[in-house]
Structure 1
């Protein structure tokens, strides 16, 4: 299997957090709430290094276009820590982009072309705000799309076609923001209509809707479920998530689970005076799962499942070798 990271393509991810934010240097979140400003490389190195000592090997960095995504900082972090960083292209909820943003005006095939270029050629350091493009050697390894609360949201139906076409052309998976855990089936239906199979979709924030029957029904379709709220107790207890994991495992669906923490605020980082920090998942949450007899499920959700979920796939759904581009790197190594 081959996964695209910001330093090149790798054959194995190791222990992976499937939904994180390491850098947000501008755009909507920082304008609206200073707590979202994540622009310190040193702080990110401190957070990642602490988790690396517990076994963390890879992170899927979910900051999309328009949110101050920084390919150069991601590469520097990967080089300094040995962390595999899978970056995304694509979008958050369409309402976060100004009315004159090209997202609302370009044709679907034009948007597809822009997304494909970020995956095959390299991400734009400016986040495709134009008119100039500064192409980074760091390439995206997934495409993000976001739905609203109980609604797809403005223009998302049109975006689905563009995202699906880019995913099929490049072999990367589609990753999502599912607002409050809603719209899982609707998004899978829309992507399926464009040719994207459910097992090429990662549904983010889906544990914010802690309905076991609903989650089982999504996993039975083949979608990956990213549980990304352990430790953020304001949204619900860890015990609630442990129970959901047990329910899915009981239905033989442990191979559909992924874990992350979605620590997208300064106030979540100990290096910036907050918490719980990236160590929480491995230090506190996984032992809860092990104590509940779910250790094997936890291990799969952190290792084998992410490797399959984020692997590049070629035509017909077959796993493919890395295309020409930046050199392949082995786990634990890096390229400049």
Structure 2
């Protein structure tokens, strides 16, 4: 039996529809708030809702919100946006990356995880299995004490390194995956350490076909992408629209190279829209409509010019692959 777990309940995979595989909708990361980085605070649910409505108007049906507990989630606000717009939202249990854990834990979380000063202190004080139990509760009972359950589990690592605490959370997430069957998503800083992450997951006996790797387009290395794809993982190209990192031509070339090599069933697309300046209704950015309304027509055109069926690839990247990737398989 396969199903996808959304904040509004479990659905059949074929009900998911056109999906962005890695976004952030409402979040107030303590690490950035403490440093006055206002651009990184998506703190107005009404503005976020309007961008989600734009996404829906372009044919969007589902969004995977990759915001973990240490990144300032607002679960009730995101749930309300899903209900009001009719867009299905998949929530995320687990953790991000270690430098964010220097932030103070918000008071509302104290009843859930205990009286710790920072996320680092909490993670340091818990065993791997205790952290796994926390992740399991967020999948099976609800995120941060709400009734809204997570539909994937997540860990993250830093740039060109994996710290001991990051390895600890990776192993906790792997064990939670085994207990819940929730799919795994990983944050790779600038696309680094993906192979090393997979080795650690293998040591926890994880079937890598249940794993998606984030930020693959931040490391535009076709050889690396092929080595990763050979393991069976999903590769998430989630920097669409971020020209400061690379032009769209580079991202499309990377994606089509994987298609040429036969890995079109392992590709996911999204925008990781985690700044006010990326949102249309916060700060006049490209917004959640950009990929569906502007990037996708270009991609289809380039795919056709390269000899591929652009429409069929779009169906895979935004409908069929997410339906397979984010399914619990029991």
The TM-score with structure 1 as length reference comes to: 0.88
Aligned 8 A contact 1:95 1:154 in 2: no
Aligned 8 A contact 2:156 2:170 in 1: no
How far does the alpha carbon of each residue in 1:205-247 deviate from its partner, in whole angstroms, 9 at most, with x for none?
1110011111111111111011011111001000111111110
Q: Separation in 1 of the partners of 2:170 and 2:206?
A: 10
Q: 1:153 to 1:298 in 2, by over 3 A?
A: farther
Give, in angstroms, the shift of residue 44 of structure 1: 1.3
Q: Separation in 1 of the partners of 2:71 and 2:286?
A: 23
Matched residue, 2:168: 158
Q: Does 1:256 align with 2:257?
A: no
- Structure number with higher relative contact order (C-alpha < 8 Å, ≥ 6 residues apart): 1
Q: Secondary structure at the match of 1:221?
A: coil
Matched residue, 1:28: 31
In the alignment, which of 196, 217, 228 is matched to residue 207 of structure 1? Answer: 217
Q: Separation in 1 of the partners of 2:198 and 2:29?
A: 30
Aligned 8 A contact 1:71 1:138 in 2: yes
Q: Which runs of 5+ in 1 are unaligned?
A: 125-134, 315-336
Matched residue, 1:329: none
Q: Separation in 2 of the partners of 1:290 and 1:146?
A: 32
Matched residue, 2:101: 97
How far does the alpha carbon of each residue in 1:190-215 deviate from its partner, in whole angstroms, 9 at most, with x for none?
11110111111110011100111111
Matched residue, 2:5: 4
Q: Separation in 2 of the partners of 1:194 and 1:34?
A: 38
Q: Separation in 1 of the partners of 2:275 and 2:71?
A: 13
Give, in angstroms, the shift of residue 107 of structure 1: 0.6
More divergent stretch after superposition (179-188 vs 149-158): 149-158
Matched residue, 2:18: 15
Matched residue, 1:323: none
Aligned 8 A contact 1:59 1:86 in 2: yes
Give, in angstroms, the shift of residue 43 of structure 1: 0.7
Count, aligned residues:
304
Q: Separation in 2 of the partners of 1:145 and 1:159?
A: 6
Q: Secondary structure at the match of 1:23?
A: coil
In the alignment, which of 288, 310, 313 is matched to residue 326 of structure 2? Answer: 310
Give, in angstroms, the shift of residue 30 of structure 1: 2.5
Q: Does 1:284 align with 2:304?
A: no
Query: Which is richer in helix?
Result: 2
Give, in angstroms, the shift of residue 75 of structure 1: 1.0
The TM-score with structure 2 as length reference comes to: 0.89
Matched residue, 1:70: 74
Aligned 8 A contact 2:195 2:228 in 1: yes
Q: Which runs of 5+ in 2 are unaligned?
A: 103-117, 305-309
How far does the alpha carbon of each residue in 1:67-98 deviate from its partner, in whole angstroms, 9 at most, with x for none?
21011011100110001100101111122213
Q: Separation in 1 of the partners of 2:158 and 2:140?
A: 29
Q: Separation in 1 of the partners of 2:228 and 2:93?
A: 24
Q: Separation in 1 of the partners of 2:192 and 2:284?
A: 29
Give, in angstroms, the shift of residue 26 of structure 1: 4.1
Structural mapping, 1:137-286, within 5 Å: 137-286=147-296
Q: Separation in 1 of the partners of 2:53 and 2:167?
A: 40
Aligned 8 A contact 2:155 2:173 in 1: yes
Q: Over aligned residues, Cα RMSD in angstroms? A: 1.2
In the alignment, which of 315, 325, 330 is matched to residue 299 of structure 1? Answer: 315
Aligned 8 A contact 1:6 1:86 in 2: yes
Q: Separation in 1 of the partners of 2:234 and 2:128?
A: 26
Aligned 8 A contact 1:207 1:241 in 2: yes
Give, in angstroms, the shift of residue 274 of structure 1: 2.5
Q: Secondary structure at the match of 1:232?
A: coil
Q: Separation in 2 of the partners of 1:274 and 1:103?
A: 38
Q: Separation in 1 of the partners of 2:187 and 2:234?
A: 13
Aligned 8 A contact 1:242 1:288 in 2: no
Matched residue, 2:307: none
